[in-house]
Amino acid sequence: MSPFIICLTIISTLTFLTTTNAASSPNNLTHIQFYFHDYVTGPNPTALRIAQAQTTAQSTSTFGALVMIDDPLTEKPDNNSKVIGHAQGMYGFADQNQLALLMTMNLVFSDGEFNGSTLSVMGRNSVMDSIREMAVVGGSGAFRFASGYAQAKTVTFMDTNGATIVEYNVYVSH
C-alpha cells in the first residue's frame, strides 16, 4: 500500500473521531430555576380543559382529561414576580388510579439570558410526589441539541388566586 493511501486513511479516521467526539460532547451544562404558575380558575385562567372522556367525571384521578396551558414562568414563587417566560403545551390526566399527568410543553423564555430560546419537556408528573422528574428532550436558540431533566416541586396547590405554583429546577446539556 502506498504511503499516500496510508496517510489519507489515518487523516480520515482522525477527522471522523474528532467530529464524532465533538458532536457527542455537550458544550454547556446549565441549571435554571423558575416558578410555574398554573391558573385553572379566575378571570384569566392559563390552563383550560379542552377535552375529556365520557368517564372522566366518575374518575377519582380525572383520567382522560386534557388541558392546554400557557402558564407564566417567574423568577420567584410570588404571583407578582417578574415573568421570564411561559410554559406552553398540554397535560393529560394519564393514570386511572392516581393523580398523574403526561406533560408535554415548551418552556419559552422571553426575558434574561435565554430570551428567545426554548426547552421542550416531556414526561410523567406524579402530582402527589414531593419531587417529580421529567425529560428535557430538545430545545431551540441557546438550547439547540438540548437534553437533560426537569425537577418539579409543588410550592402552593390552588391558592386564593386559583393558582398552583410549582418550583422547577432544570438541568440541561446544550
**Adjacent-strand bridge partners of 153:** 167
Q: How many CB atoms lie within 10 A of CB 32?
A: 21
For residue 67, what is the enclosing H or E element?
strand 66-74
Enter the DSSP assignment of 82: P
Query: pLDDT tens digit string along 46-92?
Result: 999 999 999 999 999 999 999 999 999 999 999 899 999 999 999 99
- Here the contacts of 126-130 (C-beta below 8 Å, separation 24 or greater) are 126/95, 126/98, 126/99, 126/100, 127/99, 127/100, 127/101, 127/154, 128/98, 128/99, 130/154
Query: pLDDT tens digit string along 112-165?
Result: 999 999 999 999 999 999 999 999 999 999 999 999 999 999 999 988 777 899
User: Does pTM top 0.85 for this prediction?
Assistant: no
Q: 77 Cβ partners below 8 Å, 6+ apart?
A: 35, 155, 156, 165, 167
In one-letter notation, the amino acid at residue 34 is F
